[in-house]
Chain A
Amino acid sequence: MPSDPREQEELAPQPRGIVEELVRDDVGRKKFLKAVGGAGAASFGAFVLAACGSSSSPTSTSRKTATSAAGAAAPAAAPSVPTSFGAGDIGILNYALTLEYLEAEFYAKVVAAKLFNGSVGSLVAEYGQQESEHVAAIHETVIKLGGTPAPKPTGKFPLTSAAAVAKLAYTVENLGASAYLGQAAHITSPTVLAAALAIHTVEARHAATLATLVPGGHVTPTGAFATPANAATVLNAVKPFIA
């Protein structure tokens, strides 16, 4: 990790680059637009590939057969998250837990910094509370499945101004939504999948509303089809926010 001490002004624009990178992702918008708009010319395969991301595995492992916790990791599929998080659904949950920890801490610090007042302030506090609920729910689910919850990382966030923080929040939420979307097809247990979907759309709701606080923000930054992000992309993007 580059350890050059960036100035705070430089940190703020950086997350924006991440969003743009996600938007430009080769499995992203263009492919979708081509697949969807090409009236017959586009193949179903392209549509599906775009939705899955390149890491998708076409193994026929059934979700139904894999109910026994970590050991249920699809044997033929490459892990969708680094093995340090654990195997199978537990690994995916621990990856999500790590992201949720960061989001929750970020909002807690934003609220403590009193950067927002009024309705925006309430909204930010509410979103922070929801991220904390995600942490608790995922933490518990990992234990339920017999796994060990990932440790809480220590975050570091540049809280320089309301504008910069809004932009960062927008970026982080878009990233979170992309991260969940990137894992959905890799989840084995229907229960875990249902929970992940329930959280996924809440992250999207956060991102869409934060867009209104950001100049150039978009409710749907990638258009009709949201873009998934794989774990490597997401973890690289959040690296600057882990102490």
Chain B
Amino acid sequence: MITDRLANPELAEVEVGGVTRASFLVRGAVAAAAVYGTAAAAPFVSSALGATTDIDILNFALTLEYLETDFYQVKAKTVGLAGQAAHDVSIFGKEEAAHVAALKQAIKQAGGTPVAKPTFSFPVTNASSFMNLAYTVENLGVSAYNGAGPLLQSKALLAAAGSIVQTEARHAAAIGLLIGKSPTPSGGFDTPKTMGQVLAVAKPMIK
């Protein structure tokens, strides 16, 4: 019966019912601390550890957007991209930069202070490894926004985050298709990540 089908593992995984905002965040933060230690993860993780406000969540997103922008607009110049990859990366870089600008603006308007842009270090040396990491980073962005979306208190910010995450998903899928990886790596339902899980992937790229 259909009733059995929705014991659909994918959907079960995105269920956040019964999990409080705090425990959801804490679970992620604990996982991050276990990997890096609280000190090592300091500035970036602090927003995850203490994220109880929309501004914290936006600053977390801003850090990821800084990362993506730097990757596309700075690192990309060093790996010899050509053809469709170069074309896509040029466009995507501008779009990530627009996300940075929008999030900074949103944080200020909400009365917060945008976090400073960190220094990044990307473990790629050629076009192929660059595009593979681009695929990882874009998929990470999707899971980060999808995980944080239900935590946002402001519906207006939720709508804005939704607008951005759709773009990240489009980038991820296009890159996947280009490099022969699945445009839908989680199947019919994109899997959300907690901030701690996102941090575990992003932190090694943040100096």
Checking B2, B102, B165, B188 against A197 with a beta-carbon cut-off of 8 angstroms, the contacting residue is B165
Q: Which residues of A contact B163 (CB under 8 A)?
A: 32, 50-51, 181, 225-228
Interface residues on chain B, number (Cβ under 8 Å): 60
Of the listed residues B6, B106, B164, the one surrounded by the most CB atoms of chain A closer than 10 A to its CB is B6
Rounded to whole angstroms, the CA-CA distance of A181 and B163 in the bound complex is 7
Checking B155, B159, B191 against A181 with a beta-carbon cut-off of 8 angstroms, the contacting residue is B159
What 0/1 readout, one digit per residue, does chain A (189-214) give for beta carbons within 8 Å of chain B? 11101110111111011111101100
Rounded to whole angstroms, the CA-CA distance of A39 and B150 in the bound complex is 29
Q: Which residues of B contact A52 (CB under 8 A)?
A: 155-156, 159-160
Answer yes or no: A236 CB below 8 A from chain B CBs. Answer: no
Rounded to whole angstroms, the CA-CA distance of A226 and B164 in the bound complex is 7
Answer yes or no: A98 CB below 8 A from chain B CBs. Answer: no
A67 nearest CB across to chain B (Å): 8
> Given that A129-B188, A209-B183 are known contacts, is A47 also in contact with B146, CB under 8 Å in the complex?
no
Cβ contact within 8 Å between B160 and A51: yes
Answer yes or no: A171 CB below 8 A from chain B CBs. Answer: no
Cβ contact within 8 Å between B184 and A51: no
- Looking at B37-45, B166-174, B196-204, the stretch in contact with chain A turns out to be B166-174
Q: Which residues of A contact B91 (CB under 8 A)?
A: 219-220
Q: Interface residues of A toward B: which range?
A: 35 or more
A34 nearest CB across to chain B (Å): 12
Answer yes or no: A215 CB below 8 A from chain B CBs. Answer: no
Cβ contact within 8 Å between A204 and B15: no
Cβ contact within 8 Å between A193 and B159: no
> Given that A193-B150, A194-B14, A205-B172 are known contacts, is A44 also in contact with B105, CB under 8 Å in the complex?
yes
Cβ contact within 8 Å between A190 and B2: no
Total A-B contacts with CB atoms under 8 angstroms apart: 230
Cβ contact within 8 Å between A140 and B6: yes
- Looking at B25-33, B73-81, B92-100, B121-129, the stretch in contact with chain A turns out to be B92-100
**Nearest B residue (CB) for A211:** B174
What 0/1 readout, one digit per residue, does chain B (171-183) give for beta carbons within 8 Å of chain A? 1111011000001
Checking B10, B146, B156 against A201 with a beta-carbon cut-off of 8 angstroms, the contacting residue is B146
Cβ contact within 8 Å between A197 and B192: yes
Rounded to whole angstroms, the CA-CA distance of A37 and B158 in the bound complex is 20
Of the listed residues A50, A207, A209, the one surrounded by the most CB atoms of chain B closer than 10 A to its CB is A209
Answer yes or no: B101 CB below 8 A from chain A CBs. Answer: yes
Cβ contact within 8 Å between A191 and B16: yes
Rounded to whole angstroms, the CA-CA distance of A180 and B146 in the bound complex is 13
Q: Which residues of A contact B99 (CB under 8 A)?
A: 224
B73 nearest CB across to chain A (Å): 13
Cβ contact within 8 Å between A205 and B173: yes
Q: Which residues of B contact A44 (CB under 8 A)?
A: 105-106, 108-110
24 contacts between A and B (CB under 8 A): A36-B98, A36-B105, A47-B105, A48-B106, A49-B156, A137-B10, A139-B2, A140-B11, A181-B163, A193-B149, A194-B16, A195-B15, A197-B165, A199-B188, A204-B166, A205-B170, A205-B173, A205-B176, A208-B169, A219-B173, A224-B95, A224-B167, A226-B166, A228-B159
7 smallest A-B Cβ distances: which pairs? Answer: A140-B6, A44-B109, A226-B166, A205-B173, A130-B188, A208-B170, A224-B98
**A197-B14, A204-B169 known, 4 other contacts, Cβ within 8 Å:** A52-B160, A136-B6, A140-B3, A195-B14
